[in-house]
């Protein structure tokens, strides 16, 4: 059985820089799973529907940018090797969501958020800080974040017309994956954040969603 490679701190910083570039540079990431939208038919959308759906998908794309940064930051400072591996694996799964959302945004004739570098930096710092405190807090932050994401996805699924089966298929699969990530984080020993902290996280999420809907 081959031995596991051990990375030096410099190696890990270079890997983090590579992950950041692949997250932020358009069309530079590749999904491991095909988009659920591929098997769904095209639907006729008017200009207002197209604009609104593109805005919602832009929010979800930025959410995945934040997820990538959060997981990468946590992996950098995680104490236990298996926790670091779990964070890195979760980040790989989130790449699928990132690519699917970007593809759908392009199909709708729109663009990803210009604020993504800012939100990536903030999320990376939060993830690294949580990992530095403890793995238990880091996992708990994952669970609380994924819970917020699921709520946003539920809200967006209510807003997207039933006729837009492509966008709905993407969000429905994302909803399944995000819930699994939250459950896995708690099962691994994550701290259950109290309601006041979750409320503060929801306020921060509103800042992100309101700004990236248009920008």
More confident residue, 103 or 2: 103
Mean of the per-residue pLDDT values of the chain:
79
pTM of the predicted protein model: 0.80
Within a domain: 59: yes
What distance in Å separates the CA atoms of residue 16 and residue 23, rounded to the nearest whole number? 10
Burial class (CB in 10 A: 0-12, 13-18, 19+), 159: exposed
- Residue 207: give its domain's CATH number: 1.20.1260.10
Range of the structural domain that residue 121 is part of: 46-212
| Mean pLDDT across 105-109 | 91
Q: Is 85 annotated as a binding residue?
A: no
Q: Is the pLDDT of residue 7 over 80?
A: no
The verdict on residue 174 lying in a domain is: yes
**Between the CA of residue 183 and those of 17, 51, 74, 157, what are the distances in Å?**
29, 34, 17, 21
Instruction: Report if residue 150 sits inside a domain.
Output: yes
214 contacts: CB under 8 Å, gap ≥ 6: 55
10 found inside a domain: no
Q: Is 178 annotated as a binding residue?
A: yes
Per-residue pLDDT tens over the stretch 44-97: 888 899 999 999 999 889 888 888 888 777 777 666 666 666 666 666 777 888
Is residue 62 included in any domain, yes or no? yes
Is 146 annotated as contributing to ligand binding?
yes
Task: Please report whether residue 71 resides in a domain.
Answer: yes
Domain count, the chain: 1
Q: Flag whether 172 is marked binding.
A: no
């Amino acid at each position: 059985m081959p031995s596991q490679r051990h990375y030096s701190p410099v190696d890990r910083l270079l890997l983090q820089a590579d992950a950041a570039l692949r997250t932020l540079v358009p069309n530079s990431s590749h999904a491991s799973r095909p988009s659920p939208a591929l098997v769904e038919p095209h639907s006729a959308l008017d200009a207002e529907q197209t604009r609104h759906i593109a805005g919602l998908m832009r929010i979800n794309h930025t959410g995945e940018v934040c997820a990538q940064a959060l997981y990468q930051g946590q992996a950098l400072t995680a104490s236990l090797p298996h926790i670091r591996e779990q964070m890195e694996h979760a980040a790989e799964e989130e790449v699928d969501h990132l690519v699917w959302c970007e593809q759908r945004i392009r199909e709708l004739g729109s663009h990803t958020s210009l604020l993504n570098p800012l939100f990536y930096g903030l999320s990376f710092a939060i993830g690294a800080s949580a990992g530095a405190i403890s793995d238990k807090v880091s996992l708990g932050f994952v669970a609380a974040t994924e819970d917020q994401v699921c709520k946003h996805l539920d809200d967006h699924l209510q807003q997207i017309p039933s006729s837009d089966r492509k966008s709905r298929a993407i969000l429905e699969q994302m909803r399944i994956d995000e819930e699994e990530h939250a459950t896995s984080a708690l099962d691994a020993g994550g701290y259950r954040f109290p309601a006041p902290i979750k409320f503060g996280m929801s306020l921060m999420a509103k800042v992100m969603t309101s700004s990236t809907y248009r920008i």
